[in-house]
Amino acid sequence: MGKSKLLEEVRQEIRRRNYSYRTEQAYTSWIIRYIRFHGTVHPKKLGDTEVEQYLNHLANDRNVAASTQNQALSALVFLYKQVLNKETLNLDNLKRAKKPKKLPVVLSHTEAMVILQQLNGRTLLICELLYGSGIRISECLRLRVQDIDFENGQLWVRSGKGNRDRVSLLPQKCIPKLRKQIQKVKSIHQKDLTQGFGKAILPKALARKYPKEQTSLGWQYLFPSSTISKDPRTNLEHRYHISSRQVQRKLQKAVAETDIEKKVTCHTFRHSFATQLLQNGYDIRTVQELLGHKNLKTTMIYTHVINKGGNYIKSPVDTI
pLDDT per residue as tens digits for the range 135-188: 999 999 999 999 999 999 999 998 777 778 899 999 999 999 999 999 999 999
Q: State what percent of residues in the chain have pLDDT above 70.
A: 93
| 204 φ, ψ (degrees, to nearest 5) | -50, -50
pLDDT tens for each residue of 6-32:
999 999 999 888 888 889 999 999 999
Q: What is the pLDDT of residue 319?
A: 60
CA 109 centroid distance within chain: 23
For 73-86, write each residue's pLDDT tens digit: 999 999 999 999 98
Is it the case that residue 295 has pLDDT exceeding 50? yes
Q: How far is 276 from 223, CA to CA, in rounded Å?
A: 26
The predicted model gives 99-124 an average pLDDT of: 91
Check residue 261 and give its pLDDT.
Answer: 94
Beta strand extents in 183-297 (DSSP E only): 229-230, 237-238
The distance in angstroms from the start CA to the end CA of the chain is: 70
Nearest to 68 by CA among 39, 37, 29, 102: 29
pLDDT at 37: 95
Least confident stretch, 83-92, 202-211, 278-287: 202-211
pLDDT for 6 equals 93
CA distance 278 to 112: 16
**Residue type present at position 118:** Q
| Cβ–Cβ < 8 Å for 251, 266 | yes
Q: Residue 140: how many CB atoms within 10 A of its CB?
A: 24
3-state secondary structure of 174: helix
Give catalytic residue positions: 136, 161, 267, 270, 293, 302
Helices 296-307 + 266-279 axis angle, to 10: 80
* Backbone dihedral angles phi then psi of residue 43, each to the nearest 5 degrees: -55, -25
The pLDDT tens digits for 218-231 are 999 999 999 999 99
- The predicted pLDDT at position 313 comes to 57
Checking phi first, is residue 40 left (phi over 0); if not, alpha (psi -120 to 50) or beta?
Answer: left
What share of the chain in percent tops pLDDT 90?
66
Altogether, the residues listed in the chain come to a count of: 320
* Close Cβ partners of 162 (under 8 Å, ≥ 6 residues apart): 292, 294
Q: 144: which strand partners? A: 221
| pLDDT number for residue 212 | 84
